[in-house]
Amino acid sequence: MTDYAFGKQPPEGGRICVVGAGFMGCVIATLYVHHGYDVVICDSNPAMLDSYSQRARPIAAGLVESDAQVEALLQRVVRQASLPEAVDGAFMVHEAIQESLEIKQALFEELDRLCPDSVVLATNTSSLPISDIAKRLSHKERVIGIHYVTPGHIVPVVELIHSPTTPPELIAWARAMVKSIDHVGVACLERPGFLVNKIQFAMLTEIYRLMDEGLATREDIDDAVRLSLGPRLALWGPLLTEDLIVSKKTALAVTDSIYQQTGDETYKGRKVLRDLVAQDHLGAINGAGWYRFKDTPEEVVAKRDRQLRALLDWLQEADPVGELNVR
């Protein structure tokens, strides 16, 4: 492929082929058609195409208001059993078949033969390296992970998984692609766990350890996260939260203290954190941490507390946990 034939922007209303009409294929096809793309869905199992509308209906119902709009969305997705016909005219093929390297490799080889060089080949893989999926392709550089986080029609973030040799132009293109469907792309290298699972399992493995060691009950763990970390992370993410709530000197002292008490290298203060302390970038408290702050520390604290109070009041009023509570 020369000059990045896929162009700078995805073509508005252009054709996308989704391969795999299972759980994720239904979500992805519905999202794309909802945002005006011309969608063809392909599956090697005809029964999956037959039952597509039934399985995609609750997803469409989560995106539009009326029954008529739901039916219109479902009808606009063309079902096609033949792969060569399904990919014809598509500017992107989004693969959502089962998580097997061998099966994905075989499909991508076929897609590489069938599709002109300008066609982007995207995979929804949850765990496989892009380089491995693209290993035997003539045009590896057009393969990228566009990985939806369940429930993908509601969760805004989409991971854009790339290999060390993926052209930056393709990552930018994929960002524009997911932006066109009101999602937010976060780019990450093809490392195990990518970004979301890597962070999620860092927390979960600690929680499993606490439980194994009998240090806390499941109820107290859920409350601790739901009523402290959860609302703060939802508002600001982990790094901005740190800037807003603690000096970097204290953060470093705490992580080092856990390291000294446990001998567990995971907690040893990292270079990125030590560098900030060395530069006196302590957080909102002195105007710069991971981020820079225009407002005074007092203004930042007042705004922080207003936002957190509003979210906690909303949670209290909406009481979504009360509904789900299994205790």
Q: Which residue lies nearer to ligand NAD by CB, 198 or 268?
A: 198
C-alpha 96/C-alpha 27 separation (Å) is: 10
Does the protein bind ligand NAD through residue 18 (CB under 6 A)?
no
C-alpha 318/C-alpha 301 separation (Å) is: 25
Applying CB under 6 A, the span of 67-75, 99-107, 171-179, 197-205 interacting with ligand NAD comes to 99-107
Window 144 to 163, contacts with ligand NAD (CB under 6 A): 147-148, 150
Name the packing angle between helices 23-34 and 67-76 (round to 10°): 110
* One of 9, 54, 75, 98 touching ligand NAD (CB under 6 A): 98
Q: Nearest approach, Cβ of 276 to ligand NAD (angstroms)? A: 34
- 287 phi/psi in degrees, rounded to 5: 95, -10
Q: Nearest approach, Cβ of 237 to ligand NAD (angstroms)? A: 21
Applying CB under 6 A, the span of 97-105, 168-176, 213-221, 252-260 interacting with ligand NAD comes to 97-105
Q: Nearest approach, Cβ of 3 to ligand NAD (angstroms)? A: 30
C-alpha 315/C-alpha 318 separation (Å) is: 5
Applying CB under 6 A, the span of 15-23, 201-209, 248-256, 271-279 interacting with ligand NAD comes to 15-23
Applying CB under 6 A, the span of 59-67, 91-99, 167-175, 239-247 interacting with ligand NAD comes to 91-99
Does the protein bind ligand NAD through residue 130 (CB under 6 A)?
no
Number of C-beta neighbours around residue 2 at 10 A: 5
Nearest alpha carbon to residue 102 among 82, 72, 130, 132? 132
* One of 16, 17, 18, 24 touching ligand NAD (CB under 6 A): 24
Applying CB under 6 A, the span of 6-14, 119-127, 200-208, 295-303 interacting with ligand NAD comes to 119-127
Return the exposure string of 303-322: e unless at least 16 CB atoms fall within 10 Å of the residue's CB, then b: ebeeebeeeeeebeeeeeee
C-alpha 14/C-alpha 37 separation (Å) is: 5
Nearest alpha carbon to residue 19 among 131, 129, 133? 133
Q: Nearest approach, Cβ of 43 to ligand NAD (angstroms)? A: 4
DSSP 8-state symbol, 107? H
Does the protein bind ligand NAD through residue 126 (CB under 6 A)?
yes
- Token pair, residue 256, equals 């080092």
Q: Which residue's structure tokens are 């997803």?
A: 59
User: Can you give the length of the chain in residues?
Assistant: 327
User: CB of 121 within 8 A of CB of 97?
Assistant: no
| Element (DSSP H or E) covering residue 40 | strand 38-42
Number of C-beta neighbours around residue 54 at 10 A: 10
Q: Which residue lies nearer to ligand NAD by CB, 123 or 241?
A: 123
Q: Which residue lies nearer to ligand NAD by CB, 201 or 290?
A: 201
Instruction: List the x/- string, 38-77, binding to ligand NAD by CB under 6 A.
Output: ----xxxx--x-----------------------------
Q: Which residue lies nearer to ligand NAD by CB, 98 or 316?
A: 98
**Residue ranges binding ligand NAD (CB under 6 A):** 19-25, 42-45, 48, 96-99, 103, 107, 124-126, 147-148, 150
